Amino acid sequence: MKFIMSKINIYLIFAISFIVAFTPNLSFSQSVEALDKEYGFMGFKLAQNLDSLKGFRYKTRYMKKDVFVRDSMPLEYAGVKFSAVSFIFYKKILHSVIIKTEGANQSQALLDLLQLYYGEGVQDGMAPRFIWNGKKVNMVFDQNLLTKNAELVIESKAVQNYFAHDMQARFGE
């Protein structure tokens, strides 16, 4: 089983290398500056107004934020399969994007891709939890030790500060 898993990782690394070699617009500076420059996910920019976006469907409200999904959203990027992609809005402003994967292989493939794009990140504790802290963006990869499923949160610092300020003004905390 371990041999098969390592063979799969080799294929994923080969596929990523192939994409990098033959896609002229991709740039891998391996730093959080690249994360700040992208400021979003797959063309959706953080802090974008919901009214300027099309094809989003309201899903639920959680902690004063509205969760939307996009039915036409591709659930694969650079060979990594996502189980879900959610867009979190605060007062109609894109606060964060949450990407989920299922299983050890997809979670590891996502982490490998993030480290290829943005560098190693800072490991938080012993668990597979990595943080990239840019000037404009916070990004956290967190893998569940039991299920091996992972969640990636890409968050706008400006919108989070706006949210925190509103919560402090409202609740005085």
SS3 content of the chain, % helix, strand, coil (to 5): 35, 35, 30
Mean pLDDT, residues 15-26: 35
d(CA 38, CA 48): 13
Residue 21 has pLDDT above 50, yes or no: no
pTM of the model: 0.79
d(CA 102, CA 152): 12
**Residue 98's pLDDT is what?**
97
CA angle 13, 37, 121 (to 5 degrees): 50
Bridge partners, residue 67, by sequence: 60, 88
Beta carbons within 8 Å of 106's beta carbon, 6+ residues apart: 80, 81, 82, 83, 150
**CATH number of 26-171: 3.40.1000, 1.20.140, 3.40.50, 3.40.1440?**
3.40.1000
Q: What is the pLDDT of residues 90-107, one digit of tens each?
A: 999 999 999 999 999 999
| Domain range list for the chain | 26-171
Q: What is the pLDDT of residues 141-165, one digit of tens each?
A: 999 999 999 999 999 999 999 898 8
The total number of residues shown for the chain amounts to 173
For the CA atoms of the chain, what is the radius of gyration? 17
**Which helix (H) or strand (E) segment is 35 a member of?**
helix 32-38
Q: In terms of Cα–Cα distance, which of 130, 118, 111 is closest to 27?
A: 118
Mean pLDDT, residues 18-28: 36
Place 173 in a pLDDT band, splitting at 50, 70 and 90. low
d(CA 101, CA 81): 7
End-to-end C-alpha distance for the chain, whole angstroms? 51
